[in-house]
Amino acid sequence: MEKQILLDYSGDFRFETIEILLQKVKEQLSHLEVKTGIKKKVVNIMVECLENIYKYTTLDKENSYFNRNFKSKVILKKENKSFIITAGNTILNNNIEPLKEKIDHINNLDKDGLQNLYESIINNGHISDKGGAGLGIVDIALRSGNKLNYDFSPIDHDLSFYELKIKINLL
């Protein structure tokens, strides 16, 4: 089996973009001989990633630095034993620390710990104005079953580029 790029998008993110990219991902996956459950896992994680990018992008617009030409991106690759999703967008430097802490905390939990965290948020968390319940990243970690990789590349005084890399095992 070779490495395959199933989706490689970089650009503007509107709500409609989510729909277009999801259709493309589903179409690409339909040609692969992979268990349906794994394909659904990939699509579900992709949904969370695309919605996250969209939320960050609208936040960017409100903070009026969206026109600085930093495009969001999302890549879906199939490797020998896994799918890899890479999702990237700009982030305010002030927001890096809390996000890092959140992901590190999630990475330190085992499956039961993640499940408990998920249940605590779904039962008690409030839906924010952006529509997020704060569940997305926990949901991604639970579904992927692997540790989340992340990277922050500084752009300037205010901004960095944030990348989240998620691995989904084929078996």
Q: Which residues bind other proteins (CB under 8 A)?
A: 15, 18-19, 35-37, 40-41, 43-44, 47-48, 51, 115, 119, 122-123, 125, 127, 131-133, 135-136, 138-139, 143
CB under 8 Å to 53, separation ≥6 — which residues? 13, 72, 74, 87, 88, 89
- Phi, psi of 59, deg, nearest 5: -65, -40
Rounded-to-integer distance, Cα 71 and Cα 94, Å: 19
Helices (H) and strands (E) in the chain, counts: 5, 5
Nearest to 10 by CA among 96, 65, 90: 90
Nearest to 148 by CA among 134, 168, 132, 133: 168
* Least Cβ distance, residue 104 to other proteins (angstroms): 20
**Choice between 114 and 159, CB closer to other proteins:** 114
* Least Cβ distance, residue 60 to other proteins (angstroms): 17
Give the type of residue at 57. Answer: T
* Least Cβ distance, residue 30 to other proteins (angstroms): 14
* Least Cβ distance, residue 114 to other proteins (angstroms): 12
Determine if residue 2 is left, alpha or beta; phi over 0 gives left, psi from -120 to 50 gives alpha, anything else beta.
Answer: beta
**Choice between 24 and 143, CB closer to other proteins:** 143
**Choice between 37 and 98, CB closer to other proteins:** 37
**Choice between 116 and 153, CB closer to other proteins:** 116
* Least Cβ distance, residue 37 to other proteins (angstroms): 4
**Choice between 103 and 159, CB closer to other proteins:** 103
